[in-house]
Amino acid sequence: MNKHIIIILILFFFQNIQASEIIGIPKVVDGDTIHIKSYKIRLEGIDAPEMRQKCKKPYLQVMFLNFQKDYYCGQLSKKKLTQKIGNKPVKCILLGKDRYKRYLGKCLKGKIDLNRWMVRNGYAIAYRKYSKLYILDENFAKEEKLGIWEGSFIKPEKWRKLN
């Protein structure tokens, strides 16, 4: 192989692994997607319930009977992310694009990893199909019965396929 081809391959490799950053006050689309300026950013490694998705949570317990009611868990997920961000700037480290041409990003409000915060508090799940990074946070939320783990739900990926 001649040295020009090697140089081109090295440049191509490093060009594709460089992460870039964007900072701004985001518009929250749902529990795992935000817009900053013209960038549509999917929070990498997590999957939040869809906006029309219903989950169940307990509302009454009588002896051994546990009564549950439906609620829009995707709307709650969006609301919690919106509240966590407030009207503050967010920095997203862009790691690439998904098949829908959205940027994949790890997003931070100050030192708070928003991707991790969403999973650890039960407003999203670890998207194991694409990342193993937030599995321990999901286990914590599940054990503590936080957010969607308080009741029952269909995993967002399965819900999308069924709807």
Asked if residue 7 belongs to a domain, the reply is: no
User: Does residue 13 carry a pLDDT above 80?
Assistant: no
CA distance linking residue 91 with residue 21, whole number of Å: 7
Amino acid in the structure at residue 43: L
Which residue would you say has higher pLDDT here, 59 or 122? 122
Q: Quick one: average pLDDT of 46-70?
A: 90
CATH number of the CATH domain containing 74: 2.40.50.90
User: Does residue 19 carry a pLDDT above 50?
Assistant: yes
106: left (phi over 0), alpha (psi -120 to 50) or beta: beta
Asked if residue 74 belongs to a domain, the reply is: yes
Find tokens 């609301």 and name the residue.
79
Question: What SS3 class is residue 64?
Answer: coil
Asked if residue 6 belongs to a domain, the reply is: no
Asked if residue 123 belongs to a domain, the reply is: yes
Query: Binning pLDDT at 50, 70 and 90, where does residue 63 land?
Result: confident
What pLDDT shows up at residue 35? 98
- Give whole-number Cα distances, 129 to 45, 64, 126, 142, 150, in Å: 8, 36, 9, 18, 23
CA distance linking residue 148 with residue 17, whole number of Å: 35
What pLDDT shows up at residue 11? 37
Asked if residue 2 belongs to a domain, the reply is: no
pTM of the model: 0.85
Q: What is the pLDDT of residues 68-89, one digit of tens each?
A: 899 999 999 999 999 999 999 9
Q: What total number of domains does the chain contain?
A: 1
Boundaries of domain holding 107: 20-162
Percent of the chain whose pLDDT exceeds 70: 88
Bridge-based pairing state of the strands 103-109 and 39-43: parallel
Find tokens 């940027």 and name the residue.
103
Query: Binning pLDDT at 50, 70 and 90, where does residue 59 land?
Result: confident
Least confident of 4-13, 32-41, 118-127, 144-153: 4-13
Asked if residue 110 belongs to a domain, the reply is: yes
Asked if residue 1 belongs to a domain, the reply is: no
CA distance linking residue 158 with residue 101, whole number of Å: 21
Query: Binning pLDDT at 50, 70 and 90, where does residue 2 land?
Result: very low
Q: Residue 137 corresponds to which tokens in the numbers above?
A: 């946070």
Residue 28 parent element (H or E): strand 27-30
Asked if residue 5 belongs to a domain, the reply is: no
Q: What is the pLDDT of residues 127-141, one digit of tens each?
A: 999 999 999 999 999
Query: For residues 83 and 143, is the Cβ–Cβ distance under 8 A?
Result: no
